[in-house]
Structure 1
Amino acid sequence: MRGVSRRALAMLLALGAGALWLEPTATRAADEDEASAYSWDRTEAGLDFTTEVRGRRIPDYLRDLLEDARQVRPDVQDGPPPPTTLSQLRRRAAEDAKRLEEVLASEAYYNGSVAHSVRQAAGGSFEVVYFVILGERSMIRNFDIVYSGHPEGGEGLPRTGAELGLEPGKAARAERIIELTGEAVRRLHNNGYPNGKLDRRRVTVNLTSSEADVTLYMTAGERYRFGPVLVTNEGRTDPDYVRQLTTFEGGEVYDRSEVDKTTEALRDTGLFSGISISSAEPEDGTLPQRIELTERAPRTVRLGARWSSSEGPGVRGSWEHRNLFGRAERLTLGLTIAQILQAATADFRKPDFLRPDQSLLASFEIAHEESDAYDENRVKTGVSLERVLSERWTGTAGVTFQVTETEDSNGRITYQLFGVPVTLRYDSSNDLLNPTEGIRATLGATPYFGSSDGRPTTFTKLEASGATYLSLADELVLALRGRYGLIAAEETVDVPGSTRFYAGGGGSVRGYGYQMAGPLDAQGDPTGGRSVLEANVEARYRATETIGLVAFIDGGQAFENMTPSLGDPLLWGAGLGVRYYTPIGPVRADVAIPLNKRQGVDDDFQIYVSLGQAF
Structure 2
Amino acid sequence: MRSSPQPSAPGAIRAARPVPRRTAPPASIAWPNRLAAALAALGLATAPQALLAQDRQAPATLEDLIPDAAVDNPEAWAEEGVEPEARAAAQQSPAIDPGDPLVDDPAIQVAWPDETPIPEPDPLAPEEEIEFADIDREFFRGAPEMKVITLGPELALGFPAEEGSFPQRDELAKRFEALSTVEELQDDDNDDNIAQLAARARADEELLAQLLRVYGYYDAQIIRTVGGTRPGGDSAERGANVRFDIVPGERYSFGAIDLGEIEQAPDGPALRSAFEIETGDPLSSDAIVQEQFDLDRALGETGYPFAEIDEPQLLVDHARIEGDLTMPVRPNGKYAFGEIVSGSPDFLPSRHLQTIARFDRGDIYQRSLEQDLRRAIVATGLVSSVTITKREVAPPDATRPGEIALDVEMTRAKLRTIAGAVGYGSEEGFRVEASWEHRNFFPPEGAIRVRGIVGTQEQLAGVTFRRNNFGGRDRILNVDAYASTIDSPAFDARTLAFVASYERSSTLLFQKPISWSVGFEAVATGERPPANDDTPQQPRQTYFVGAIPLYLQLDTTNDLLDPTEGFRVSGRFSPEVSRSRGVESFYLRSQFDASYYRQVSDKVVVAGRARFGTIAGTAIANIAPSRRLYAGGGGSVRGYGYREIGPHDELGDPTGGRSLAEVALEARIKTGFFDGALSVVPFVDAGTVSTSTLPDFETFRVGAGLGVRYHTGFGPIRVDVGVPINPGPDDSPVAVYVSLGQAF
TM range (shorter): 0.7 to 0.9
AA of the residue aligned to 1:363: D
Residue 263 of structure 1 deviates from its aligned partner by 0.8
Report the CA distance between 1:266 and its aligned residue.
Answer: 0.6
Question: Following the alignment from structure 1 to structure 2, what is the Cα–Cα distance between the partners of residues 609 and 367?
Answer: 23
Q: Is the 8 A contact 1:375 1:408 kept in 2?
A: yes
2:727 is the counterpart of 1:597: yes
What CA deviation, in whole Å up to 9, does each residue of 1:407-461 have, x standing for no partner? 2399854433332322122445666656666655432222223435333322222
1:161/1:598 CA distance change after superposition, 3 Å: same
- Tell me if structure 1 keeps the 8 A contact 2:274–2:295: no
Distance 1:51 1:221, change over 3 A: closer
1:55 paired to 2:161: yes
Following TM superposition, by how much is the alpha carbon of 1:373 offset from its aligned partner in structure 2, in angstroms? Answer: 1.0
1:507-536 Cα shifts (integer Å, max 9, x gaps): 222222221122222211111122231314
2:583 alignment partner AA: R
Contact residue 159 and residue 169 of structure 2 kept, 8 A: no
Specify whether residues 230 and 412 from structure 1 end up closer, same or farther in structure 2 by C-alpha distance, changes over 3 A only.
closer
Deviations 1:571-612 (A, max 9, x none): 213244575x7776555544433222333x112222334444
Aligned residue identity for 1:593: V
The question of 1:456 aligning with 2:584 is answered: yes
Cross-structure match for 1:378: 495
CA distance, structure 2, for counterparts of residue 141 and residue 160 of structure 1: 20
Aligned to 1:11: none
Residue identity matched to 2:686 = G
Q: Per the alignment, in what secondary structure is the counterpart of residue 354 of structure 1?
A: coil
1:290-338: CA deviation from partner (whole Å, max 9, x where unpaired): 3221112222222333333322333222222211221112332222222
Deviation at 1:249, TM superposition (A): 5.8
User: 1:481: Cα distance to partner?
Assistant: 3.7
Q: Which residue of 2 aligns with 1:265?
A: 376
Cα RMSD of the aligned pairs, angstroms, is 4.6
Preserved CA contact (<8 Å) 2:303 2:336: yes
Aligned 8 A contact 1:392 1:427 in 2: yes
User: Relative to structure 2, which stretch is displaced further, 328-337 or 380-389?
Assistant: 380-389
Question: Paired residue for 2:475?
Answer: 358
- Alpha carbons of structure 1 residues 142 and 449: separation in structure 2 relative to 1, 3 Å: farther
C-alpha deviation, 1:89, in angstroms: 8.1
Q: Distance in 2 between matches of 1:332 and 1:159?
A: 52
**2:737 aligned partner:** 608
Deviates more, 1:65-74 or 1:392-401: 65-74
Q: Distance in 2 between matches of 1:245 and 1:510?
A: 42
| Equivalent position of 1:403 in the other structure | 524
1:66 partner amino acid: A
Structure 2 vs 1, CA of residues 79 and 355 (structure 1 numbering), >3 Å: closer, same or farther?
A: farther
* Among candidates 273, 278, 291, match of residue 180 of structure 1: 291
Alignment match, 1:155: 266
1:36 corresponding residue in structure 2? 148
What SS is found at the alignment partner of 1:324?
strand
Aligned to 1:12: none
Does residue 1:275 correspond to 2:405, yes or no? Answer: no
Corresponding residue for 1:146? Answer: 260
Choose from 233, 236, 245 the match for 1:123: 236
Shift of the alpha carbon at 1:267? 1.1
Mapped partners of 2:277, 2:614: distance in 1: 55
Residue 564 (str. 1) matches residue 677 (str. 2): no
Taking the aligned partners of 2:684 and 2:295, their CA distance within structure 1 comes to 55
Unaligned runs of 5+ in 1: 1-16, 43-48
- In the alignment, is residue 107 of structure 1 matched against residue 215 of structure 2? yes
> Equivalent residue for 1:5?
none
Q: 1:519: which partner in 2?
A: 647
Give yes or no for contact 1:481–1:537 (8 Å, CA) kept in 2: no
List per-residue Cα deviations over 1:89-119 (Å, max 9, x = no partner). Answer: 8997687566445434423456766556779
Determine the C-alpha separation between the residues in 2 that align with 1:377 and 1:91.
79
Determine the C-alpha separation between the residues in 1 that align with 2:279 and 2:728: 71
Larger radius of gyration: 2
Residue 662 of structure 2 aligns with an amino acid whose one-letter code is L
Question: Does the aligned pair in 2 maintain the 1:540–1:551 contact within 8 Å?
Answer: yes
Query: SS where residue 183 of structure 1 aligns?
Result: helix
1:76 paired to 2:181:
no
**Percent of residue pairs identical:** 25
Of the candidates 330, 338, 343, which is equivalent to residue 232 of structure 1?
Answer: 343
d(CA) in 2 for partners of 1:593, 1:85: 58
Distance 2:655 2:168 in 1: 63
Residue correspondence of structure 1 range 405-424 to structure 2 within 5 A: 405-408=526-529, 413-424=541-552
2:611–2:660 contact (8 Å) kept in structure 1 = no
Counterpart contact for 2:158–2:246, Cα < 8 Å: no
Contact kept? 1:54, 1:130, Cα under 8 Å: no
Distance 2:279 2:648 in 1: 72
Amino acid at match of 2:693: M
Code of the residue aligned with 2:150 in structure 1: it is: Y
Contact kept, 8 Å, 1:484 with 1:534, in 2: the verdict is no
Q: Which has the higher strand share?
A: 1
> Which is further off, 282-291 or 535-544?
282-291
Of 570, 579, 591, 1:442 maps to 570
* In structure 2, C-alpha distance between the alignment counterparts of 1:608 and 1:85, rounded to whole Å: 54
1: distance between equivalents of 2:196 and 2:457? 78
Q: What amino acid is the match of 1:36?
A: V
Matched residue, 1:348: 465
1:66 is the counterpart of 2:180: no
Are 1:302 and 1:318, in contact at CA under 8 Å, matched by a contact in 2? yes
Contact 1:32/1:54 (<8 A) preserved = no
Q: Structure 1 residues 158, 79: closer, same or farther in 2, change over 3 A?
A: farther
1:502 alignment counterpart:
630
Moved more, 567-576 or 77-86: 77-86
Is the alpha carbon distance of 1:431 and 1:118 closer, same or farther for their aligned partners in structure 2, counting shifts above 3 Å?
closer
Residue by residue over 1:203-253, the C-alpha shift from the partner in whole angstroms, topping out at 9 and shown as x without a partner, is 577889987764422334466665654433397334542354345566666
Q: Distance in 2 between matches of 1:371 and 1:181?
A: 64
Matched residue SS, 2:163:
coil
Q: Which whole-Å CA distance do the structure 1 matches of 2:374 and 2:340 have between them?
A: 13
Q: Distance in 1 between matches of 2:458 and 2:618?
A: 28
Distance 1:165 1:464, change over 3 A: farther
8 Å CA contact 2:513, 2:555 repeated in 1: yes
Aligned pair count reads: 588
Given that residues 610 and 661 in structure 2 are in contact (C-alpha distance below 8 angstroms), is that contact kept between their aligned partners in structure 1? Answer: no
Q: Cα distance 1:22–1:446, how it changes in 2: closer, same or farther (>3 A)?
A: farther
Name the SS of the counterpart of 2:424 in structure 1: strand
Secondary structure of 1:162's partner?
helix
Which residue among 415, 428, 433 is the counterpart of 1:298?
Answer: 415
* Conserved? CA contact 1:66–1:103, under 8 Å: no
TM-score, length-normalised on structure 2? 0.66
Q: Distance in 2 between matches of 1:306 and 1:60?
A: 57
Counterpart residue number, 1:393: 514
Q: 1:538: Cα distance to partner?
A: 5.2
Answer yes or no: is the 8 Å Cα contact 1:573–1:592 preserved in 2: yes
C-alpha distance in structure 2 between counterparts of 1:21 and 1:183, whole Å:
30
Distance 1:91 1:322 in 2: 60
More relative contact order, 1 or 2 (CA 8 Å, 6+ apart): 1
Q: Which runs of 5+ in 2 are unaligned?
A: 12-133, 230-234, 396-401, 531-537
Is 1:201–2:307 an aligned residue pair? no
